[in-house]
Amino acid sequence: MGKKTKIGFAAVAVGAAAWAGSKALANPQARPKKEILSYESPIVLAHRGGSAIAPENTMAAFKNSAGFGVQGFEIDIRLTKDEEIIVFHDEYLDRTTDGAGRVAEYTLEELRKLDLGYHFLAADGKHSYRGKGEGVVTLKELLEEFPEMHINIDIKDSPEAYEGSLMPSKLWRLIDSLDVHSRVVVTSFYDEQIDRFNLYAQNRIAIGAGENEVRKAFTAFNSQFGHLYKPRSDVFQIPVRSSMFRLDQPRFIAFLANLNIPVHYWTIDAAQEIEALLLAGAKGIITDRPDIAMDAVKEFQEKNQ
């Protein structure tokens, strides 16, 4: 046996020993179950209220989706100039309103004057909500209007922005004052915002996974050291694909399920894709078409009773 071969066998042996040692010492800990995530059947969350059927983040959208029977809403939040939390996705107003500029540059009173239906294109090709009085909704108003709904809250303001630096504490105070701890999930693309929020919440609120946490989990899953992964989130809300990687693999979903972490996929509007994800083990569908999604989930459940 040559020297290089011996070195190769030794390296393999060392790697195997390291894996075996880590496996023996590791004690994978599942996340404690949060009340809001303790459901048996898959749920449907209307994305921004169901933005394909009414102007996003408006009461019209939320009420329409509630009428279809969704279990909750997936929303984005931003902070206004006078530090009010509103349900709004974009940093700039131009795309969805008749206003211009950054949300953080306006007070709530000023934002109330804008028409959120201004750019909405209805299915019939007409701007059916323009001038209909659909305006900005605060997070407080949404929580009070729909007391039975699961609300998934995504912090959009960057932690580096002034408004973003205030958001975690403002959000915690609002949730705590309304006593809605068991009705909300708080998440963000920014892991730092989730961490900041949890400094106040102290794991009393279900939290989602930021981009770095998703990357860490998927890397662990694909390695031989998945047993060393220690989750910091209660639920994953992710797309089907990220770059070249498929995040809808049944084995990945099962990997997270073993840690008490359900997976919700966004933004899914096709019935066939919804059925495929549910078959793979998805526990939630985030959709712009709650009418289609509710029918698809109901049909799936009837087939698999």
How far is C-alpha 241 from the geometric centre of its chain's CA atoms?
15
**Which pair of structure tokens corresponds to residue 130?**
């323009």
Distance CA(35)–CA(45), nearest Å, equals: 17
Distance CA(296)–CA(294), nearest Å, equals: 5
SS3 (DSSP) at 152: strand
| Main-chain phi, psi angles of 18, to 5 degrees | -65, -45
- Residue in 89, 127, 150, 227 annotated catalytic: 89
Find out whether 88 and 136 touch, Cβ atoms under 8 Å: yes
Find out whether 14 and 20 touch, Cβ atoms under 8 Å: no
Active site residue 47: yes
- Residue in 47, 119, 150, 264 annotated catalytic: 47
CA atoms within 13 A of residue 74's CA, in its CB half-sphere? 25
Q: Measuring CA to CA, which residue among 115, 153, 107, 120 is closest to residue 136?
A: 115
- Are β-strands 206-207 and 236-239 bridged in parallel, bridged antiparallel, or unpaired? unpaired
Cite the active site residues. 47, 89
